[in-house]
Amino acid sequence: MVLRVDPAWATLVLLVGLRVAPLFVMAPVLGSVRAPNLVRALLVVALSAAVVSVSATLAAAPASVAELVLLAVTELVVGAALAFGLAAAFAAFLFAGRLLDLQFGFGVASLLDPATRTHAPLLGTALNLAAVSAFFAADGHHLLIRALALSLERFPPGSFVGELHLSAVAAQFGVMFAFGLALAAPALLAVLLLDLGFALASRTMPQMNVFIIAIPFKIVLGLVVLAASLRHMGAAMSSIFESVFRYWSALLP
């Protein structure tokens, strides 16, 4: 039995794999999965082959090795840009957690983020894990694969990287900070009002050590308000997840 592989199909799978690979490295949804590198590589190849079999076409076939390398670099750039949109959306939860940690007094505590291999805020990590669970529960991974297939139709391998609308990258930064502030707003407002109350108390009773007394009150009030606001975070999470696909639509020509 002789196994024959079409060189054009193998080249296309290679290029699409380079676009998919950053999603398994940079994106928190897939990058946080603790799996051997060989397993991740096989997942990338399998997903690339499946997508190529369905919709992908090569815009311009490489005529030389140098052109193939150029196409490979282009696909890596496109994949990194797509992965950035997903990473920036989930960074809103880490940003919200950082704000809450600083206000609650948890700023000295941190956890190791398995996706970025860096120290992450305590509440931010909890919110990020909840967001990842909600993403998979809402079948976001299915939408992610469909959006990836759509990106291959709108920007097939072999296209010129200059056609990308890179202004969408800067806009996604604003989305990250806006959504992060919206997630933390209820607890931040409650803690701010508590700080104002203790500030007035310190003016009337200067002998009271407001700094020491306020810390446990801020922690309890902040956590209670945060727990109460969790039931209303579903709409915010949906908007954050939708922002990823809006960003991809704005990025691709």
Residue-wise pLDDT tens digits, 6-50: 677 777 788 888 888 887 776 666 665 566 777 777 888 888 887
Contact residues for 88 (Cβ-Cβ < 8 A; gap 6+): 172, 173, 175, 176, 247
Sign of CA dihedral 78, 135, 109, 115: negative
Q: What is the percentage of the chain residues whose pLDDT exceeds 90?
A: 0
Contact status, residue 170 vs residue 234, Cβ threshold 8 Å: no
Q: Across the strands, what pairs with 112? A: 119
Biggest CA-to-CA distance, the chain: 91
Q: What separation, in Å, do the N-terminal and C-terminal C-alpha atoms of the chain show?
A: 44
For residues 177 and 185, give the distance between their C-alpha atoms in angstroms, rounded to a whole number: 12
> Token pair of 75, please?
């696909």
pTM: 0.76
Per-residue pLDDT, 109: 60
Q: For 119-128, what is each residue's pLDDT tens digit? A: 667 777 788 7
